[in-house]
Structure 1
Amino acid sequence: MVRETKITLRTKHINCIYCVALSFFILAIVLFVLSSEKSTTLNNQQNRIPVIISALIILLLSIIIFIWMTYYAIGYFRLKNRQQLSYVQNQMNKNSSEIRTTTSAIIFDNAAFTMDDPIVTNSSTNNQTSAW
């Protein structure tokens, strides 16, 4: 249960960081749009340059966060898959190395019964008269 919680929390953190990168990307686009609208209404290119620079910085930041998070997530999930695969292989090796005991069985009218199953013979409910 603890491992599942850690995996869920890690996955939630990855999704959260992707949302932050997406928010930065949207903010950069909004800044580009606002800078172009402001420069056209004021007919002044000097006010546009700081806004474009800040938008470029935010855009680069969002791209770096997105690439870094993708690289981290791929490595994280590959590691988890390797750990799960090795766990399954260890369990299979452990189960195959165990000594298995078999119980004896009685075959009665093509049905297999173990020694633990009760077999009722000459039961009054099983005796039926046939009209031949």
Structure 2
Amino acid sequence: MVRETKITLRTKHINCVYCIALSFFILAIVLFVLSSEQSTTLNNQQNRIPVIISALIILLLSIIIFIWMTYYTIEYFRLKKRQQLSYVQNQMNENSSEIRTTTPAIIFDNATFTMDDPIVMNSSTNNQTSA
């Protein structure tokens, strides 16, 4: 239950950062549009340059955040998958070792019979019928 909560919180954080990158991208587009409208209404290209530079910086920032978050997400889920696989393999190894050590066996002249074997279960009846 605790692990599921941590994974859910981590995925919510990932979605939040993606939303921030998307909002920066939208803000950059809005700044580009506003700069073009400003230059057409004022007929002045010099006022447009600082707005375009700030829009480019915000656009670059949103792209960097998006790429970084995608890389982080891929690595995070690969790590989780590896941890889950190792946990399953450890459980399988523990279960198989328990089965080997706890199964009772009877050895007669290099032949091994487990307690579930029908020969061992009916050994008393076989002795009575053969005698």
Q: Is this contact kept in 1: 2:21–2:63, CA < 8 A?
A: yes
Q: For residues 70 and 117 of structure 1, what CA distance do their matches in structure 2 show?
A: 56
Identity %: 92
**Deviation of the 1:98 alpha carbon:** 1.2
Secondary structure at the counterpart of residue 75 of structure 2 = helix
The CA RMSD measured in Å over matched residues stands at: 7.1
Q: Which segment is superposed worse, 93-102 or 67-76? A: 93-102
Residue 52 (1) aligns with residue 32 (2): no
When residues 99 and 43 of structure 1 are mapped into structure 2, their CA distance, relative to the original with a 3 A threshold, is same
- CA-to-aligned-CA distance 1:64-113 (integer Å, 9 cap, x gap): 00011011111110000000000011111111111379999999999999
Q: For residues 31 and 108 of structure 1, what CA distance do their matches in structure 2 show?
A: 88
Gaps of 5+ in 2: none
- CA-to-aligned-CA distance 1:38-79 (integer Å, 9 cap, x gap): 101110001100100100000000000001101111111000
**Deviation of the 1:6 alpha carbon:** 0.7
TM-score for both structures, normalised by structure 1: 0.75
When residues 36 and 84 of structure 1 are mapped into structure 2, their CA distance, relative to the original with a 3 A threshold, is same
When residues 43 and 87 of structure 1 are mapped into structure 2, their CA distance, relative to the original with a 3 A threshold, is same
**Deviation of the 1:22 alpha carbon:** 0.3
Gaps of 5+ in 1: none
Instruction: Looking at secondary structure, tell me which structure has more helix per residue.
Output: 2
Aligned residues: 131
Q: For residues 109 and 34 of structure 2, what CA distance do their matches in structure 1 show?
A: 86
Secondary structure at the counterpart of residue 25 of structure 1 = helix
